[in-house]
Amino acid sequence: MGLLSNRVDKESLKPGDHIYSWRTAYIYAHHGIYIGDDKVIHFTRRGQEVGTGTVLDILLVSSGPARSVVPCPTCTPSGDGHGVVLSCLNCFLAGGVLYRFEYSASPALFLAKARGGTCTLAVSDPNDVVVHRAKYLLDNGFGCYNVFKNNCEDFAIYCKTGLLVVDQGTMGQSGQAVSIIGGPLAAVLSTPLRLVTTNVYGMVATAVTVYCASRYAADIGMRKDVVKVSAEDLTRKLATGLLQAIEPPIPAAPAPAPAPAPASAG
């Protein structure tokens, strides 16, 4: 692992590794758990890597890899199941570069990574436990896909740690989701602080500081609202509705403005 990149060779992989690959223009990364024999278990939205049910799909789906019309003979068909799928490593990478997510990162390294979704302060469980969780969820599901609260990175982090961020029964956010939200949030939060800065450089520094602080506080290795949940207990709670990850609704189109009243002739 390096400061600038978590890029690794396929030969260095071992079962239980949390791997990811950036898609076009580094808009997002797709995450999964390597289980050996060139196989990866990962979480999707009904077979699609991303999807929000909103206009954000236009940006995310357009950056995704083009799907081959010829099905891969070694991959499990996704169908319309629960979204956890088994793929060969090549199909998972979709022509992208292989990276390994880092666990037990030091605070200095974590903050040095400008982009979320590459490392965490949390500690990984043993690899055999990680593989067991991934295989169990392949058979039993991981709830409804939600790009902000229950996505492929959340799946991989759960498999590695068994930790879930639970807030009123809702599963928690991943590092790259926090980054997407944290950037604009930092800009907003730093705006009232512009009075203590003397120039634009001070404002930028303030925004960066707020952004890094928000990422650090939101990391699953730092949060206090996390619980250790077995895969068996997780799927039971999902089945009984005690834990939910709700797909965002498709927003309704705004109603057309009423036509102006005709002018009076008098």
**30 part of the active site:** yes
**152 part of the active site:** yes
What is the pTM (predicted TM-score) of this model? 0.75
CA distance 181 to 158: 21
- Res 129 pLDDT > 90: yes
Of 90, 61, 65, the closest CA to residue 75 belongs to 90
**What is the percent of the chain with per-residue pLDDT over 90, rounded to a whole number?**
34
- In 3-state terms the chain splits into helix, strand, coil percentages (rounded to 5) of 35, 15, 45
Contacts of 42 (CB under 8 A, 6+ apart): 30, 31, 32, 33, 84, 85, 87, 92, 152, 155, 156
Task: Give pLDDT, residue 36.
Answer: 96
Binning pLDDT at 50, 70 and 90, where does residue 258 land? low
Binning pLDDT at 50, 70 and 90, where does residue 4 land? low
Q: Which of 158-167, 169-178, 221-230 has the lowest mean pLDDT?
A: 169-178
User: What mean pLDDT is predicted for residues 235-254?
Assistant: 63
Which of the given ranges, 39-53, 61-75, 225-239, has the highest pLDDT on average? 225-239
**132 part of the active site:** no
Task: Give pLDDT, residue 33.
Answer: 98
- Res 135 pLDDT > 90: yes
Q: Are 117 and 24 in contact (CB under 8 A)?
A: no
Given 18, 31, 42, 82, which residue is catalytic?
Answer: 42
- Res 172 pLDDT > 50: yes
Given 91, 119, 144, 152, which residue is catalytic?
Answer: 152
